[in-house]
Amino acid sequence: NWTADSFVESTVAALKEKLGDDKVVLGLSGGVDSSVAAVLIHKAIGKNLYCIFVDNGLLRKNEYEQVLESYKSLGLNVKGVNAKDQFYAALSGLTDPEAKRKAIGKVFIDVFDQESHLIEDVKWLGQGTIYPDVIESVSVKGPSATIKSHHNVGGLPDFMKLKVVEPLNTLFKDEVRAVGRTLEIDPNILQRHPFPGPGLAIRILGDITAEKVQILQEVDAIFINGLKNKGLYNQVWQAGAILLPINSVGVMGDERTYEKVVALRAVSSVDGMTADWCHLPYEFLAEISNEIINKVKGVNRVVYDISSKPPATIEWE
């Protein structure tokens, strides 16, 4: 009979046995899986777990600072790495979605490889792989696919030659959350919506600039905070905003404006493979739209995406 408590107890014991005095490096994403994996491994080996959390400049507003803080308060040995400029430089001028994904994957690998070289004599790579990732290893979008497509020429980066430890690879998502609750991880981390590895880069259609990222962060924060304040966040599987590469005409006072359009997307789903658009209350959408247009400079129009998957995908890129 599976319980989160017994899972934690037996897994921590097994990790102690397996890892001994070895060092482990693990990349935190701010998401549920890597966070729970880190806390479990930390429980087994303490400071020998070296966590790395990379700021790619494509996270939600204030997320890097907030998540880093909550990792520290969990007692994790975590190093935050600000690599924004490297990511923006690699993305400069790229508009094709797959080209953007590849560029981001490559910079991430370079940064992570460099950071893991700083840990003397590290033996293991910790990962938050969960059971569905194992059975769906055919997924073309995951980070490992990016890794493969980039490093099949010239050999693997060194951290990928480490032995892999994946304490969650027999669990489903709801079990991972249950384990996270047992480990007293911040509910804000455990209930977090899925967020794509390439982050806001695939929600800014066209090329990426720091300025566009900032506009989208503001829009996204208004939408997500609105969902939380109205008690809608946990009823939605995933939500976010998309910055469209077009301007539209508007009026502001007596002035004609010609500014950006943003789309809001909220879906219900079980596993992301299929999804329905959420029938959010009109009053809520009206409030959010007003707030965005009034507060975010450079945006004069908000639309709501009413497409389901299939045939649309959740992300626009």
DSSP state of 311: T
Residue 122 or 190 with smaller CB distance to ligand XMP: 190
44: its two tokens: 């087994």
315 binds ligand XMP (CB under 6 A): yes
Q: How many angstroms separate the CA atoms of 78 and 69, rounded? A: 10
What residues form DSSP beta bridges with 55? 82
Shortest gap between Cβ of 197 and ligand XMP (angstroms)? 3
Q: Which of residues 215-254 bind ligand XMP (CB under 6 A)?
A: 238
31 in a known ligand binding site: yes
Q: Which of residues 269-288 bind ligand XMP (CB under 6 A)?
A: 272
- Maximum CA pair distance of the chain? 72
| Among 4, 43, 95, 194, contact with ligand XMP (rule: CB under 6 A) | 194
Residue 84's Cα: distance from chain center in Å?
A: 15
Cα 104-203-25 angle, rounded to 5 deg = 35
260 binds ligand XMP (CB under 6 A): no
User: Residue 122's closest CA among 62, 38, 49?
Assistant: 49
313 binds ligand XMP (CB under 6 A): yes
59 binds ligand XMP (CB under 6 A): no
Amino acid letter, 312: A
Q: Which of residues 1-40 bind ligand XMP (CB under 6 A)?
A: none
| Among 15, 51, 189, 314, contact with ligand XMP (rule: CB under 6 A) | 314
Residue 215's Cα: distance from chain center in Å?
A: 19
Question: How many helices (DSSP H) and strands (DSSP E) are in the chain?
Answer: 11, 9
Residue 122 or 208 with smaller CB distance to ligand XMP: 208
| Among 83, 196, 203, 264, contact with ligand XMP (rule: CB under 6 A) | 196
Shortest gap between Cβ of 104 and ligand XMP (angstroms)? 8
96 in a known ligand binding site: no
Shortest gap between Cβ of 19 and ligand XMP (angstroms)? 27
30: its two tokens: 């701010």
Amino acid letter, 126: G
Given the rule CB under 6 A, which residues bind ligand XMP?
A: 101, 141, 194, 196-198, 238, 272, 309, 313-315
